[in-house]
Amino acid sequence: MLNKEQILNYFEAINSTGSTLLYFDNVPANAEPKPHISLAKPIPPQILAEKIIENKIINEEPEHIKTEFKSPNLPYKTLDELRNGIANCKQCILGATRNKLVFGEGNPNADLMVIGEAPGADEDEQGMPFVGRAGKLLTDILKAINFERSDIYIANICKCRPPSNRKPMANEITCCEPYLHKQIEIIQPKIMLALGLTAAEALFHQQFKMGDIRGKFLNFNGIQTMITYHPAALLRNPNWKRPVWEDVQELRKMYDELVK
């Protein structure tokens, strides 16, 4: 289990080698430094450990998400088994800073699966996806195309909240990826809706521009997947509500074609 002493040991090990690294995958008691990203200016291990414990991880971005696709290799056959199996996950630093793991919720036999980025403060507090302001907007969007939340399944790329709602880092996405893939494998949706570039890029292991892919269907392992703006982006940019409305109408049309 990650704790302050282990984190401090890790950064002291880094400091002794003359490196200053931002994040890591796992932190054993006698940690060996595993380089990912170098910081421009060294930070004393004690201060950096304190920042992590206090949910104040520095918001540096990795080069990009990995491009190699790996199928899930998990033994679970149901969503409940998977939820219980990963409940105490500490594969990345978010396991130490989260309040609650946000697994996902909805119809386990849903034909439509909605995939977001990561939990926010409200989700971290309640342990459920999309329950804050962006969640209310998502509910309204779904209702506008005749879906109730109980009809679909909602999950995120990352199951734990990144500190200060920053964008998930590459190793955090990588750690959670098998869990999401297993959810998709168990649910077997006929169509998916990816909300935001982070979700789209994590699913397809490619860099995109929203203007190039918004409103289009991409094929994720045989599943038609629509990409559009994240509801949180609509709260910041109301002008994007119209294109999202256009996108979800196309989503509904495709859904009706696939689910007969």
DSSP assignment of 130-155: S-SHHHHHHHHHHHHTT--GGGSEEE
Check residue 61 and give its pLDDT: 33
Measured CA distances, 257 to 44, 167, 190, 213, 260 (Å): 58, 35, 10, 21, 7
Check residue 48 and give its pLDDT: 41
Check residue 71 and give its pLDDT: 52
Check residue 177 and give its pLDDT: 95
The H or E element spanning position 189 is none
| Residues pairing with 19 in the sheet | none
Check residue 35 and give its pLDDT: 39
- Please state, in angstroms and rounded to a whole number, the distance separating the CA atoms of residues 156 and 174: 13
Check residue 50 and give its pLDDT: 41
Residue 148's φ and ψ, nearest 5 degrees, are -95, 155
Q: The tokens 């789209």 sit on which residue?
A: 200
Check residue 58 and give its pLDDT: 32
- Please state, in angstroms and rounded to a whole number, the distance separating the CA atoms of residues 233 and 253: 24
Check residue 176 and give its pLDDT: 95
pLDDT tens for residues 46-101? 444 444 433 333 333 333 333 334 555 789 999 999 999 999 999 999 999 999 99
Q: Is 83 exposed, middle or buried (0-12, 13-18, 19+ CB in 10 A)?
A: middle
The residues of the chain scoring below 50 in pLDDT are 1-2, 4, 6-69
- Extract long-range pairs of 253-257: CB within 8 Å, 24+ residues apart: 254/191, 254/217, 254/224, 254/226, 255/111, 255/112, 255/190, 255/191
Check residue 73 and give its pLDDT: 75
A 10 A CB-CB count for 256 gives 10
Check residue 260 and give its pLDDT: 81
SS3 220: strand
